[in-house]
Structure 1
Amino acid sequence: MTTGLELYDVTIIGGGPAGLYAAFYSGMRDMKTKLIEAKEELGGRLLIYPEKMIWDVGGLKPTRCEQLIAQLIEQAQTFDPTIVLGQQITGLKRLEDGTMIVTSDTGEQHHTRTLILALGYGVAKVAKLELEGANRFEVTNLHYTVTDLQSFQGKRVLLSGGGDTAVDWAMELEAIAASVTVVHRRERLGGHEKNARYVEESSIHVFKPFAIAQLHGNGDAIEAVTIARTDADCELTADTQRLDVDAVIVNHGQLSDFGPIVDWGLDMGQWSIAVDEKMGTNLPGIFAAGDTASFPNKLYLIAGAFNDAAIAVNGAKLYLEPKAPSMAYVSSHNAKFNERNKALLNKERD
């Protein structure tokens, strides 16, 4: 069927770790690949915390997120996939020959034989502090992410939140800020047990169960915060304290939205799409990887996203060519890298 559109073997929707690794691995499978990202830059959820250190990627020394993103992008471009930025996919149409056309919010259409959904938890929006007038401090010292740790040098920093990201930021700021205070509405900090225990036992001040009740400003900057103890339903009580601060960082998680994809007929819950052992969804030719994919014993790590991506690509390849090898040859024995390896060796000798 002629559509006038260039046909791709696989189109990957989402430019986070799973999508980027899928773009690389699909090149190893000789698949004509397109990657579409809703934002104007690649990196997915890693873009939220560029200064954070990543420790749990196998064989990789502790690496800042921004560096890991750059390395993932470079790797994804190894086999020259087509990369499209600034387009959120909304529509899906299956043609008589089994191929699909997906349409973006810009109206542009993309023709593909298979799809890999690497959407994370959808289009993420920061959960903001729900206090009247809080938005006026966003231009000064109310933050929803940390892009430069050194900007908090010598400051009294209050962190609102108790999940992985808030705990990690508190740990990293401890040696930089004059003081770090964590306010969490529940009795226990979330995140990895070891890190939560460190925060509890360190010089970091922890108030729990407490939540921010009021911001006190001097012009457009916050100079103090009133915190209130919370009850069993996380509602504020009359037990309050006032704390002087120089900066407030709010980490209350993300509000995510899959958009019109929820109407495609996929077997999905609020946060993910159910997949089989090949990362296949209930719709033929459509696969999922990373945080988007849901299956038993799911590993919610970047390393797990890489594994999901490779399995999804292999699933897409076998969907197109049932007699193809079940996986790509490993890179150490793959002829695709012969010339590249020679170039790297020559560069090292020089």
Structure 2
Amino acid sequence: MADRMERFDVTIIGGGPAGLYAAFYGGLRDMSVKLIEAGSELGGRLRSYADKTVWDVGGVPPIRCARLIEQMIRQARTFEPTIVLGQRIAELERREDGTMTVVSASGERHHTRALILALGHGVPQPRRLEIEGAQRYEAANLHYAATADPGRLRGKTVLLSCCGSGNVSAVRIEELAALAARVVVVRGRADLQPSDRSRPTPSVEYRAPFVVERLHGDGNRIEAVTIARVDGEGDFAGERERMEVDEVLVDHGTRSEYGPIVRWGLEKTSWNFDADERLATRLPGVFVAGDAANYPSKLHLIAGAISDAAIAVNSAKRYLDPTAPKSAPMSTSSAKFADRNKALGL
């Protein structure tokens, strides 16, 4: 794989709110910046509720999250950072001169003087259907809600498994009903109903409390499923039903994971990384921001992620140059924005 020999002042891993603001603020601090995102698009966890309205970002009126993502990406690109998509970072190497190389799972190498981990909750992965042999059908007609192609479901008989502690929204079920000829919703608890359910849909049938017990197929495609009733403890209660289906859609929620990064030697809680008041980790030159950061006064809001990003960048700048100012000048008095303000007519 290619070895990206250019060395950046700071490399940011993660393209959510903390990573995006760190990319902007790093440019404001005259640093060369690279941002690496594991997914195919920027926005991080905000993408999971892109259609929701956000009220709690300081100075920003209520805004659709999708629109907020667009604005944060535009801001992040202000000083033209290098942005790399679709690479999940796996390894960290430290060179004799103190600089670092981060290596992606696909072998790409990125050289940097400082590193900011803006990993959020990690890379989201769908919770898979835990049935023997299920994986073999994932290339055919077993789909996970987060990545399903709606066109594959059109006019079909679809079984939607939403067992577990999650609750599928009425909007998702109604969208599915508009595509499929018949939808059978299987739920592991009788008391779980679609949230904000507005009206019954004739093409949608509910089986609760039932779970998918077995997939029937030729090893290439699922032809039928057996569902089984469960009791309040999740144990099989005897009643079973077999039905022919065209497609199986699984929505058991997601779980996020940091992958090989947890083996770098960082101090870690059950789900994020310990940092001091400068957002420095125990590894020299490695800082953390956003939901991935754990420190006593941590604020798990978008506003908190933005604050973290600025602190982490300032700490990285001072790590590289202890004589540097503690922070960037205010944008109202920064010469960096003079020409930009004129172009905007401000």
Q: Same fold (TM over 0.5)?
A: yes
Contact 2:214–2:227, Cα closer than 8 Å, also in 1: yes
**2:249 counterpart residue number:** 249
Deviations 1:187-215 (A, max 9, x none): 776xxxxx97524x764876655422234
**1:143 counterpart residue number:** 143
Q: Residues 21-32 of structure 1: matches in 2 within 5 Å?
A: 21-32=21-32
Contact 2:50–2:64, Cα closer than 8 Å, also in 1: no
CA distance in structure 2 between the aligned counterparts of 1:307 and 1:230, rounded to whole angstroms = 47
**2:51 counterpart residue number:** 53
1:99 lines up with 2:99 in the alignment: yes
**1:311 counterpart residue number:** 311
Identity level (%) = 50
CA distance in structure 2 between the aligned counterparts of 1:211 and 1:300, rounded to whole angstroms = 35
Q: Which amino acid counterpart does residue 130 of structure 2 have in structure 1?
A: E
**2:127 counterpart residue number:** 127
Give the secondary-structure state (helix, strand or coil) at the position aligned to 1:92. strand
Q: Which ranges of structure 2 fall in alignment gaps of 5 or more residues?
A: none
CA spacing shift, 1:317–1:177, aligned 2, 3 Å? same
CA spacing shift, 1:343–1:294, aligned 2, 3 Å? same
CA spacing shift, 1:213–1:31, aligned 2, 3 Å? same
User: Shift in Å at residue 8 of structure 1?
Assistant: 2.5
Q: Residues 202-241 of structure 1: matches in 2 within 5 Å?
A: 203=200, 209-215=209-215, 225-231=225-231, 233-241=233-241
Q: Residues 56-67 of structure 1: matches in 2 within 5 Å?
A: 56=54, 58=57, 59=61, 61-64=63-66
**2:188 counterpart residue number:** 185
Q: Which amino acid counterpart does residue 185 of structure 1 have in structure 2?
A: G
User: Shift in Å at residue 167 of structure 1?
Assistant: 2.8
Give the secondary-structure state (helix, strand or coil) at the position aligned to 2:344. helix
Contact 1:16–1:42, Cα closer than 8 Å, also in 2: no
User: Shift in Å at residue 326 of structure 1?
Assistant: 4.5
Q: Which amino acid counterpart does residue 42 of structure 2 have in structure 1?
A: G
Aligned residue pair count = 331
**2:341 counterpart residue number:** 341
Q: Which amino acid counterpart does residue 129 of structure 1 have in structure 2?
A: L
Deviations 1:19-67 (A, max 9, x none): 233212211222221223345x333655975x95132264353254xx6
CA spacing shift, 1:226–1:103, aligned 2, 3 Å? closer
CA distance in structure 2 between the aligned counterparts of 1:149 and 1:299, rounded to whole angstroms = 37
Deviations 1:252-291 (A, max 9, x none): 3445553443332210145321223332222232111233
User: Shift in Å at residue 129 of structure 1?
Assistant: 1.4
User: Shift in Å at residue 95 of structure 1?
Assistant: 3.5
CA distance in structure 2 between the aligned counterparts of 1:18 and 1:147, rounded to whole angstroms = 28
CA spacing shift, 1:323–1:188, aligned 2, 3 Å? farther
CA distance in structure 2 between the aligned counterparts of 1:167 and 1:299, rounded to whole angstroms = 28
CA distance in structure 1 between the aligned counterparts of 2:152 and 2:331, rounded to whole angstroms = 42
Deviations 1:294-324 (A, max 9, x none): 3456555555443432332233234344565
Q: Which amino acid counterpart does residue 61 of structure 1 have in structure 2?
A: I
Contact 1:92–1:264, Cα closer than 8 Å, also in 2: no
1:83 lines up with 2:86 in the alignment: no
User: Shift in Å at residue 82 of structure 1?
Assistant: 2.1
User: Shift in Å at residue 125 of structure 1?
Assistant: 3.7
CA distance in structure 1 between the aligned counterparts of 2:164 and 2:21, rounded to whole angstroms = 27
CA distance in structure 1 between the aligned counterparts of 2:176 and 2:223, rounded to whole angstroms = 19
Contact 2:21–2:306, Cα closer than 8 Å, also in 1: yes
Report the TM-score when normalising by structure 2: 0.72
- After the TM superposition, which of the residue ranges 278-287 and 147-156 deviates more from structure 2? 147-156
CA spacing shift, 1:246–1:14, aligned 2, 3 Å? same
CA spacing shift, 1:95–1:136, aligned 2, 3 Å? closer
Contact 2:89–2:261, Cα closer than 8 Å, also in 1: no
Report the TM-score when normalising by structure 1: 0.72
CA distance in structure 1 between the aligned counterparts of 2:167 and 2:329, rounded to whole angstroms = 41
- After the TM superposition, which of the residue ranges 177-186 and 24-33 deviates more from structure 2? 177-186
Give the secondary-structure state (helix, strand or coil) at the position aligned to 1:198. coil
**2:285 counterpart residue number:** 285
- After the TM superposition, which of the residue ranges 9-18 and 87-96 deviates more from structure 2? 87-96
Q: Which ranges of structure 1 fall in alignment gaps of 5 or more residues?
A: 190-194
Contact 2:163–2:211, Cα closer than 8 Å, also in 1: no
CA distance in structure 2 between the aligned counterparts of 1:165 and 1:75, rounded to whole angstroms = 35
Give the secondary-structure state (helix, strand or coil) at the position aligned to 2:168. helix
CA distance in structure 2 between the aligned counterparts of 1:216 and 1:54, rounded to whole angstroms = 38
Contact 1:125–1:255, Cα closer than 8 Å, also in 2: yes
Give the secondary-structure state (helix, strand or coil) at the position aligned to 2:196. helix
**1:42 counterpart residue number:** 41
User: Shift in Å at residue 92 of structure 1?
Assistant: 2.5
Contact 1:16–1:44, Cα closer than 8 Å, also in 2: yes
Contact 2:166–2:252, Cα closer than 8 Å, also in 1: no
User: Shift in Å at residue 148 of structure 1?
Assistant: 6.2
CA spacing shift, 1:11–1:167, aligned 2, 3 Å? same
